[in-house]
């Protein structure tokens, strides 16, 4: 009985550690290679056995049936091309996605969208069977000609109409990326009752002044997730130079902030901090950082959250 317990434990250990898989693979390789010293070769193979990680794009099969491309975009002036990028300028998941396609037998390239060379992008992408779009919503509106996002989306929709696969489509990005779902669950146990969506300057002013008088806020555009233009907002006592601990409203709606109340803002893409009056922040949100009355901004985000109206997403807090 004691021997059976030991063997059962051994089998369990072998299964959990995948030892048998490793040995079987190594023996298969040795039988194929027929090295002079199979024991030494077994040691070498076991030392490197297991899933391999590649940080660079691997070669595509020359006989691949389908050819795909991972589409990216670099924000002008942003470190690495955006906060979603690594030091190599690629999104951190782009190379693994492309290598996954290659490992499955497909061909896959990395391609950049350049707003100034749209027609070249059209020519370059026409040869692919499918496109995997890894552009964070909102990035195509940063430092690009007006209408760039719409131009890109129109091209993707054209490709979809022609039978080319696009993941994810502009429609799905809009539906799945919208944060106003948080507003729809605000009265559930998992929601917050002071979660609001704003689609006009009047809604934004009234809503922000009321909610920020109640407790700290997160305020952002109703799309995108890379951190640009996403702000943590706290009331700030300018005279004492410290964070306000007790907010004016004990219950939501008890009071509203004034234009000259002071707030501390932290942008989530790089955690830099700015201090502004409520009026300056609202001006930034509606008209941008260069508008009269917006104050001086260190953020590279263009503001103008409400531009395009509800169809473009609006703003959520």
- Residue 209 clears pLDDT 90, i.e. is over it: yes
Domain boundaries, the chain: 1-48, 67-177, 180-287
- Residue 164 clears pLDDT 90, i.e. is over it: yes
DSSP assignment string, 39-50: HHHHHHHHHH-S
- State the average pLDDT over residues 274-287: 97
> Could you read off the pLDDT of 29-68 as tens digits, one per residue?
999 899 999 999 999 998 888 777 778 999 999 999 999 9
Rounded distance between C-alpha atoms, residue 219 and residue 228, angstroms? 11
Would you say how long the chain is, in residues?
317
Check the CA dihedral 110-115-118-120 and report its sign: negative
Mean pLDDT of the chain: 89
- C-alpha to C-alpha distances, 35 to 29, 39, 48, nearest whole angstrom: 10, 9, 17
- With beta carbons less than 8 A apart as the criterion, state whether 262 and 212 touch: no
Domain 67-177 coded CATH 3.40.50: yes
- Please tell me what DSSP assigns to residue 66: -
Q: What is the pLDDT, as a whole number, of residue 308?
A: 64
Rounded distance between C-alpha atoms, residue 38 and residue 44, angstroms? 10
- Residue 282 clears pLDDT 60, i.e. is over it: yes
Q: What is the pLDDT, as a whole number, of residue 309?
A: 58
Contacting residues for 302 by C-beta, under 8 A, at least 6 apart: 141, 142, 288, 289
Q: What is the pLDDT, as a whole number, of residue 278?
A: 98
Dihedral, 95, 98, 102, 104 alpha carbons, nearest 10: 120
Q: What is the pLDDT, as a whole number, of residue 1?
A: 46
């Amino acid at each position: 009985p004691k021997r059976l317990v030991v063997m059962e434990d051994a089998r369990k250990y072998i299964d959990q550690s995948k030892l048998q898989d490793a040995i079987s693979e190594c023996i298969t390789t040795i039988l194929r290679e027929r090295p002079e010293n199979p024991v030494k070769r077994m040691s070498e193979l076991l030392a490197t056995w297991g899933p391999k990680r590649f940080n660079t794009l691997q070669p595509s099969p020359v006989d691949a049936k389908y050819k795909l491309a991972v589409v990216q975009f670099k924000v002008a002036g942003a470190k690495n091309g955006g906060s979603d990028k690594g030091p190599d300028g690629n999104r951190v998941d782009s190379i693994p996605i492309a290598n996954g396609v290659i490992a499955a037998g497909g061909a896959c390239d990395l391609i950049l969208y350049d707003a100034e060379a749209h027609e070249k992008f059209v020519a370059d992408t026409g040869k692919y069977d499918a496109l995997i779009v890894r552009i964070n919503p909102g990035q195509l509106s940063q430092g690009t000609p007006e209408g760039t996002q719409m131009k890109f989306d129109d091209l993707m929709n054209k490709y979809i109409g022609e039978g080319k696969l696009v993941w994810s489509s502009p429609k799905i990005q809009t539906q799945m990326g919208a944060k106003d779902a948080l507003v729809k669950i605000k009265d559930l146990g998992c929601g917050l009752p002071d979660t609001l969506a704003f689609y006009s300057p009047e809604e934004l002013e009234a809503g922000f002044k009321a909610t920020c008088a109640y407790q700290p806020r997160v305020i952002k555009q109703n799309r995108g997730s890379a951190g640009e233009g996403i702000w943590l907002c706290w009331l700030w006592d300018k005279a004492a130079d410290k964070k306000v601990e007790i907010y004016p409203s004990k219950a939501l709606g008890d009071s509203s902030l004034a234009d000259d109340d002071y707030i501390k803002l932290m942008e989530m893409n790089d955690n830099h901090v700015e201090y502004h009056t409520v009026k300056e922040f609202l001006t930034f949100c509606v008209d941008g950082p260069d508008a009269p009355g917006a104050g001086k901004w260190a953020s590279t985000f263009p503001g103008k959250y409400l531009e395009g109206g509800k169809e473009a997403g609006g703003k959520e807090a």
